[in-house]
Amino acid sequence: MADKNLKTLTLKSLSFFFVCSLVTATASAQKSTEPAAPTPAPKIIEKKAIVLEYMSWFETLKLKGPGVSTEISTLFYGTGLLYDFTSYQNGWGYGSNVGLAQGFGGAGNSLSTGTYSQTRVQWQALRAGGRIFKLYGNRVELGASAALFYKSITWPVNSLGNAPVNSTNPTAGFFLESRWRLSKRWELEQAAGGFNISSSMAWRLGVGYAL
């Protein structure tokens, strides 16, 4: 009788263990087949800033006048004030800007028929541009940028009737650009490149203040 009761108890114990194991295995299988929670998309960070920059570039222009048709070297320099928008996501970003610029231009060239020389000839320009970049260490941005300039300048005609012929508007510029974040509000930018005109080189140095 005792053996029969022991066998019955053993069978009940095994049955209970089997049922528990089956329930556990079923629950685990259901859990493993459930879809994983979606990974949240990288956060998009946007920034607006005011940028004050100094710019300088060279152009080779045509010098025209009575009996004269040659090239002349010119230097432009000035300052610009821009509204700048930047968007970051997952270590990469893009930006755009628009603003005004003004400054002075100078030209000089010795000719067989005389000399053309002018300094501090005032110019004004509208400017719009964009850029793409890679963010390094949350402080340094390295990338490429492009800008369109619509420049207005009137070169004086000298006593020989000579004057440079302005480049065609608008002028497109292409640059390698870097920016260094100095603090939460301030950053330093530098760019070097050229314009889509003959023998043109350009350089920019600016400081931005985040709004």
> Domain 44-210, what fold?
Porin (2.40.160)
Of 203 and 19, more confident: 203
pLDDT (tens digit, 9 = 90+) per residue, 176-204? 999 999 999 999 999 999 988 766 789 99
Other CB atoms within 10 A of residue 28 CB: 10
User: Taking the model in full, what pTM does it have?
Assistant: 0.76
Confidence of residue 84 (pLDDT cuts 50, 70, 90): very high
Going from N- to C-terminal start, the domains of the chain cover: 1-34, 44-210
Rounded to whole angstroms, the Cα distance separating 44 from 39 reads 15
pLDDT, tens only, 115-137: 789 999 999 999 999 999 999 98
- The one-letter amino acid code at 99 reads G
pLDDT in tens, 155-177: 999 988 999 999 889 989 999 99
